Structure 1
């Protein structure tokens, strides 16, 4: 089926993950089809989008780089003037305006429910399953992102891959842009983007590694957590948001646009990330990572982390690097073993992770290649639509 127009609906709840995925999805489809396909993104609110893109304005309708961004409120007020696209993506089971949906049942061909990312094995059975909606023309299907070739994959966008190559080939340019004080200095650098977390175990290990360490702390929750922990050390705040203690330098980074964040995580040595979109970006860098998964009731998030670990091990066990693989997967699990987001001291121990860092790097590099080649959601989604 030809894609004549594409509407993407996103309901932002309490973080940047949902809009991050949708924003990336819209940009990538625009890069594929250019002016051939009209792309609209419908949002329940704009606060997070305004942060992700500094050119965005707090208005009901706007067009940026050829993509239309429209609020649900604007759509509701002007519903009589809107014709639904022939292809609709409903991100993460969000609510589509009833008036729009009633029109779509008669005028549109395909509605795709793009679900949350999961490594659990059951998603294979649900992926591309039809979901009846009582319409004669419009058909709805589940599209399940995951870490296996038999799932919907993850967003592997060419825009990110091109940016990755630029940073790798021109690191000095990006050091000058983000870390001018570290140019030509031998620092072991990591990014921290997390929910509430006690970073005491991490700092204790870095103090002993005989390297010059730098942690780039991003996001309000990460920075608030780190500031509490810094009080237990004698970190000197040498300037606003910059702290030094022995062999550790900590920088509180300003909020970065999506493209800037991608540049930064490709520049450093390792990345601690949270949520879904940032996690996939970390995987694609090929660098060692730690994933702080979104907390769920009754610790349901541990099923998801265990699912990812199982998929991760399936790909990498043939490399015969058992010790680093065990170290990395154990730390992933311990890092996420919690029933609430707090500064309570966790079970994680980073010592073996950093001892095995070079071998963990080999694992994450191979895994990034696997994700890029076998789990490209954009390609899978586009092929599904075209074959429909």
Structure 2
């Protein structure tokens, strides 16, 4: 039984759609599945409106899917602090809001929702308190891939919806038709959503030279420049279709979160980036490659390898080597064509592992549920 509390979630949009994508899913799930009143504070309403077409980029206050969405502007409008306050991805709460928490005389649970990582130290740091100078206590909450972490965002009916969709060719065909795409018999269907990446050219070469037809769906995003360069075009845009050898490329419009799930579920292989699409591709139960956000000190390689160390568990050695090889080439920006050929030879084992991984993650619990349970446990401890 959920303990009802008021929630404030703060999101600063710093990495395209990743931060707002995660927080918007979380806010919706807290309302829909746990009956929690939620305010989502967003500093970039234009980006939010692209992700959620029902939203206005101009309204300072609006309610969508039961979530109160507020514009978090430089001029703080003032608001009574909620019972649970989530500072998403170290976005730094307004000082006036922190002062109001300290002066409220109430026990407020302050959570720093961290970025996703599979590194070993996450388990030891998850749910640790941090006493602040003003007497408030902040807790670090880490999403993750193991039971002793905060888990991943997953709606309660997600796996059932995915299973129904993937078992229904007609529903898949209708979805693709809405994108202007018709899946060809025996064709391999792939999606590409990545940061700018020089590895893309070698991969497209391999797809074009394949003996099997490949249909590649590319949603609008940062990787379009690489696709255009490979095609020898000055630019590409949604609605464009191209064919080179055995490769058909369809540029598809930017999608809502629910539409993007359907895209991932439709494909045999998904290239994804960042955190939001990375999580959703895992729930698709299909082999994938992750373009991790590069960091100047190369710390992203530690994060990438930490995830692979968990994900490859139980794979035959050849399949593990093939997967590591392609992910390494993809993120290094070279050698993706040769590595892709090796990966394809291990596809059946990788497909089985992708589905098995989803069951393991379901068993770990989901982020929204773990947040609600954490608050209930904290509340019991506070009141003895």
Give SS of 1:158's match. Answer: coil
- Indicate which of 151, 154, 167 corresponds to 1:153: 151
* Partners of 1:302 and 1:337 within 8 A in 2: no
Q: Does 1:96 align with 2:93?
A: yes
Q: Is residue 189–residue 268 contact of structure 2 (8 Å, CA) maintained in 1?
A: yes
* Separation in structure 2 between the aligned mates of residue 75 and residue 152 of structure 1, nearest angstrom: 33
| 1:23-62 equivalences in 2 (<5 Å) | 23-34=24-35, 37-58=36-57, 59-62=59-62
1:367 corresponding residue in structure 2: 357
Find the counterpart in structure 1 of residue 205 from structure 2.
204
In the alignment, the residues of structure 1 paired with residue 183 and residue 282 of structure 2 have an alpha-carbon distance, to the nearest angstrom, of 25
Deviation string 1:232-286 (CA, Å, 9 cap, x unpaired) is: 9xxxx9x951001222110011010111001111111111000001001111111
- 1:382 to partner: Cα distance: 2.1
Any conservation in 1 of the 2:322–2:339 contact (CA below 8 Å)?
Answer: no
1:348-367 to structure 2, matched below 5 A, reads 349-367=339-357
Q: Which residue of 1 aligns with 2:116?
A: 117
1:2-41 matched pairs, under 5 angstroms: 2-34=3-35, 37-41=36-40
Cα distance in 2 for partners of 1:371, 1:195 equals: 26
Name the counterpart of 1:173.
171
- In 1, Cα distance between the equivalents of 2:107 and 2:37? 14
Instruction: Select between 178-187 and 222-231 the one with higher mean Cα deviation.
Output: 178-187
Specify the alignment match of 1:341 in structure 2.
none
- Change beyond 3 A, Cα 1:129–1:294: same
Partner of 2:382: none
Aligned mates of 1:60, 1:162 — CA distance in 2? 36
- Which is further off, 272-281 or 163-172? 163-172
1:65 aligns with 2:65: yes
Checking the alignment, whether the CA contact within 8 Å between 2:287 and 2:351 is kept in structure 1 is yes
Secondary structure, counterpart of 1:150 in structure 2: coil
Q: Deviations over 1:216-237 (max 9, x none)?
A: 01232121111101229xxxx9
Distance (whole Å) between structure 2 residues aligned to residue 181 and residue 128 of structure 1: 46
Residue 76 of structure 2: aligned partner = 76
Whether contact under 8 Å (2:111, 2:141) holds in the other structure is yes
Where 2:271 maps in the other structure, the secondary structure is strand
- Give the equivalent residue in structure 1 for 2:374: 384
**Partners of 1:217 and 1:267 in 2: how far apart?**
13
* TM-score, length basis structure 1: 0.89
Residue matched to 1:288: 287
CA drift of 1:311 comes to 1.9
Q: Any conservation in 2 of the 1:72–1:97 contact (CA below 8 Å)?
A: no
Deviation at 1:328, TM superposition (A): 0.7
2:343 counterpart SS class: helix
Please give the alpha-carbon distance, in whole angstroms, between the structure 1 residues aligned to 2:115 and 2:211.
Answer: 40
In the alignment, is residue 330 of structure 1 matched against residue 328 of structure 2?
Answer: no
Matched position secondary structure for 1:73 = coil
**Is the Cα contact below 8 Å between 2:115 and 2:143 reproduced in 1?**
yes
Q: Please state how far the C-alpha of 1:159 moved relative to its aligned partner.
A: 5.1
Which residue of the partner structure matches residue 192 of structure 1? 192
The CA distance in 2 between the partners of 1:46 and 1:76, in whole Å, is: 15
Q: What 5-or-longer segments of structure 2 have no aligned partner?
A: 379-384
Q: Distance in 2 between matches of 1:47 and 1:263?
A: 24
Q: How many residues align?
A: 369
- Give the TM-score taking structure 2 as reference length: 0.90
Answer yes or no: is the 8 Å Cα contact 1:3–1:386 preserved in 2.
no
Q: Say if 1:90 and 1:113, in contact at 8 Å, map to a contact too.
A: yes
CA distance in 2, matches of 1:16, 1:84: 26
